[in-house]
Amino acid sequence: MTRKELLAEVEHLFSTYCDGCFLQKQFKKDKSKTYAHRFCISKCTVGEKIRACGEKLSSQGT
């Protein structure tokens, strides 16, 4: 995938699944912003896909 395609994929994933996510809002409210962010990165399947795209972007830059 090209850099442009990867960025489009990340934007699509974020706008489709992350905007308005109930879990993220609830974790921010009940626990903390940091906890919610860590959950999204490490345990959420969508966050894992976004992270994988980020790793591909990083490897393209070098």
Name residue 24's amino acid. Answer: Q
Looking at residue 60, its pLDDT comes to 84
Helix/strand/coil (H/E/C) assignment for every residue in 5-51? HHHHHHHHHHHHHHCCCHHHHHHHHHCCHHHHHHHHHHCCHHHHHHH
Alpha carbon distance 54, 27 (integer Å)? 24
Looking at residue 29, its pLDDT comes to 96
Alpha carbon distance 48, 17 (integer Å)? 12
Alpha carbon distance 60, 62 (integer Å)? 6
pTM for the structure as a whole: 0.79
The domain spans of the chain are 3-61
Query: What is the chain's pLDDT, residue by residue, as a tens digit (62 residues)?
Result: 899 999 999 999 999 999 999 999 999 999 999 999 999 999 999 999 999 999 999 998 75
